[in-house]
């Protein structure tokens, strides 16, 4: 997906090295995450999941039919994992499925002992990934933290959680 995410004219040896570094970082983070067991609240848009199932794990559109099928099946496996988390995942990982529009950029709130930060990122690793273009921002401004936290609270209140969220995903999986 990452290889396909940029125009072929920009692919060179340094791009290949960048992909290797990104994958190594992600692998390390996955291991550390499993060891730490932090509490995570994740909000996922139902429309984005539907689009993900339709397009698959792709870095660009217009792939050959056989590759498209493989990528759609891979997306289905990922959505099935989310379904399983909703059914019986650890209590430290909370997932809510949002039927409303989601923000265009991803963001995270990090809470430390003394400071709360909001990190906003244009970078994506899912469908149609982008690890090259954009500028992420970090702020501790109280107004920004309050607005993001308020948005999270509103979205979480109306999110389908647990078995209700799992049922939404099962309906989508049945359609695809």
**How much is the pLDDT for 102?**
87
Residue recorded with tokens 């609240």: 41
What does DSSP assign to residue 156? H
CA separation for the pair 9, 162 (Å, rounded): 45
Tell me the CA end-to-end span of the chain in Å, nearest whole number.
21
Q: What residue segments make up the domains of the chain, in order of their start?
A: 3-175
Q: In 3D, which of 57, 106, 48, 47 has the Cα closest to residue 78?
A: 57
136-174 per-position pLDDT tens digit: 999 999 999 999 999 999 999 999 999 999 999 999 999
Q: Higher confidence at residue 161 or residue 12?
A: 161
23-54 per-position pLDDT tens digit: 999 899 888 887 887 778 889 999 999 999 99
pLDDT at 135 over 90: yes
**How much is the pLDDT for 146?**
95
Compute CA 58 distance to the chain's CA centroid, rounded to the nearest angstrom: 14
What does DSSP assign to residue 102? P
72-100 per-position pLDDT tens digit: 999 999 999 999 989 987 777 889 999 98
């Amino acid at each position: 997906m990452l290889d396909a995410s940029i125009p072929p004219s920009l692919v060179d040896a340094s791009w290949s090295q960048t992909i290797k570094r990104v994958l190594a970082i992600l692998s390390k983070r996955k291991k550390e995450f499993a060891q730490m067991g932090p509490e995570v609240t994740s909000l996922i848009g139902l429309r984005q999941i539907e689009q993900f199932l339709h397009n698959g794990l792709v870095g660009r559109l217009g792939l050959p039919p056989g590759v498209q099928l493989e990528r759609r099946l891979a997306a289905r496996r990922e959505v099935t994992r989310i379904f399983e988390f909703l059914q019986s995942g650890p209590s430290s990982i909370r997932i809510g499925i949002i039927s409303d529009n989601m923000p265009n950029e991803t963001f995270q709130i990090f809470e430390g002992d003394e400071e709360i930060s909001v990190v906003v990122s244009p970078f994506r690793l899912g469908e149609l990934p982008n690890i090259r273009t954009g500028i992420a921002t970090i702020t501790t401004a109280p107004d920004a933290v309050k607005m993001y936290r308020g948005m999270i609270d509103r979205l979480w209140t109306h999110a389908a959680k647990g078995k209700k969220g799992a049922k939404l995903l099962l309906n989508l999986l049945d359609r695809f």
